[in-house]
Amino acid sequence: MIINVPAAPFPYAFDPEHSALVVIDMQRDFVECGGFGEALGNDVTRLQAIVPTVAALIALFRAKGLPILHTRESHLPDLSDCPPAKRNRGVANLRIGDTGAMGRLLVRGEPGNSIIAECAPMPGEMVIDKPGKGMFYATESDSMLRSRGISQLIFAGVTTEVCVQTSMREANDRGYECLLITDATESYFEQFKAAAIDMITAQSGIVGWATPFRELEASVT
């Protein structure tokens, strides 16, 4: 059954049988103090503010029995999948692979690389470790989703203008119809979030749609 969800730039035709929730990088390294995000000089409390909404969105999909895919931006311990062009960006006191308050930054298996408890995956939910900003680069995301008959993706997570927008653009190029939940995503920079949503929904939804959680919740309950 198709459900028309109020959204920008026009209603999103939501088909639960072919949809999955994608939760991008709700990791301690980005959301909590002492992680990679704070090492870059960012105010992580902006990201912490969306945690209840992301958790509610996850709970809604679980209640409906719909698939969920969680991503983690992460690298192998030897950093062989982290090019210097990525590691050397910025003016951070600590870089990818260096040891911080929660272990080595953005390294698989380290405490800071784990997804925060409020949004942690449950057994049976898909989890992807991605070495890039987009969810499809050097991962099995596409094959995992297509094997489940998924053609629509509902997006949440951080940060809006980097890993979320990159993943949405990659998904759009692969033919997925994408909806961003606007109060379940955030940036360290208010203006970057607003600009990213404008770019996603511009020109009749050139990348996808956007709507607040309440609209999706009201449409499916």
- Write out the catalytic residue numbers: 25, 130, 163
Are 69 and 52 a contacting pair, CB within 8 Å? no
Strands, E assignment, the chain: 3-5, 12-14, 19-24, 68-73, 99-100, 103-104, 126-130, 152-158, 177-186, 209-211
- Distance between CA 205 and CA 16 in Å, rounded? 20
Number of helices and strands (H, E) in the chain? 9, 10
